[in-house]
């Protein structure tokens, strides 16, 4: 089994300590500032709040200029009544914020004895089961925006392309810990075949 790294990330291990269920953000999701956090008693880990912040900043970077342009340009060119066109991108900004929060809360993963579970989705729930023995490549990737926010993604490649999976927005330490653990478990499972 091969491992790869797709970006500059730090080293170390995640604490993985359980959270009381209220989370440090006060939302009741069990999410914490420091990384993937456990839901009480169920073994699922959520994604760090930094992923939500990154996605919200990208949303604002696109829709605030669009809102200003949709209000100023028609207002100047066609009259002040047309400045109301700014309502559409502003409404998209508010709706997008809500959707990003719901999507962020829906992502979670759990390490089990024989496989890794990844669950995501708000309207359409999707749960991917990746057996350790089927993994061929585990990559840690981090683009420039992710690095700025101190995040990294984990990409799992298996023997069947349909079961490839990813976990976005992990802390680099947790991504590296998972990569090393999954590589070790994958090698042990495939050696037993």
Enter the tokens of residue 187: 């090698």
In which region does residue 185 sit, left (phi positive, over 0), alpha (psi from -120 to 50) or beta (all else)? alpha
Q: What is the pLDDT of residue 148?
A: 95
Indicate the SS3 state at residue 3: strand
pTM of the model: 0.71
Indicate the SS3 state at residue 45: strand
CB atoms within 10 A of CB 19: 17
Q: What is the pLDDT of residue 192?
A: 59
E strands, the chain, in order: 2-5, 45-46, 108-111, 115-120, 126-131, 135-141, 152-158, 165-170
Q: What is the pLDDT of residue 24?
A: 37
- Cβ burial of 82 (10 Å; 0-12, 13-18, 19+) is middle
Concatenated DSSP letters for 108-126?
EEEE-SSEEEEEE-SSS-E
- Evaluate whether 48 touches 151 at the Cβ level (below 8 Å): yes
Q: What is the pLDDT of residue 23?
A: 38
Q: What is the pLDDT of residue 174?
A: 95
Give the list of residues 6+ apart from residue 151 with CB closer than 8 angstroms, or none.
Answer: 48, 50, 51, 54, 142, 168, 169, 170, 171, 172
In tens digits, what is the pLDDT along the chain, a chain of 193 residues?
444 443 332 333 333 333 333 333 333 344 444 445 444 346 899 999 999 999 999 999 999 999 999 988 888 888 888 888 889 999 999 999 999 999 999 999 999 988 999 999 999 999 999 888 888 899 999 999 999 999 999 999 888 777 679 999 999 999 999 999 999 988 887 765 5
């Amino acid at each position: 089994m091969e491992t790869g790294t797709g970006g500059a990330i730090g080293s170390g291990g995640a604490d993985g300590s359980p959270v009381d269920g209220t989370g440090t953000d006060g939302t009741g999701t069990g999410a914490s500032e420091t990384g993937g956090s456990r839901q009480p008693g169920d073994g699922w880990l959520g994604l760090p709040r930094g992923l939500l912040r990154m996605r919200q900043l990208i949303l604002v970077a696109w829709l605030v200029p669009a809102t200003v342009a949709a209000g100023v340009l028609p207002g100047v060119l066609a009259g002040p009544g047309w400045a109301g066109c700014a309502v559409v991108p502003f409404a998209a900004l508010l709706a997008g914020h809500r959707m990003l929060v719901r999507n962020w809360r829906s992502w979670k993963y759990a390490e089990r004895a024989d496989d890794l579970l990844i669950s995501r989705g708000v309207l359409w729930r999707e749960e991917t089961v990746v057996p350790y023995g089927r993994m061929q490549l585990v990559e840690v990737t981090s683009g420039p925006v992710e690095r700025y926010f101190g995040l990294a993604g984990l990409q799992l490649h298996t023997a069947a392309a349909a079961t490839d999976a990813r976990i976005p927005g992990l802390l680099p330490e947790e991504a590296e810990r998972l990569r090393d653990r999954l590589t070790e478990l994958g090698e042990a499972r495939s050696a037993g075949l």
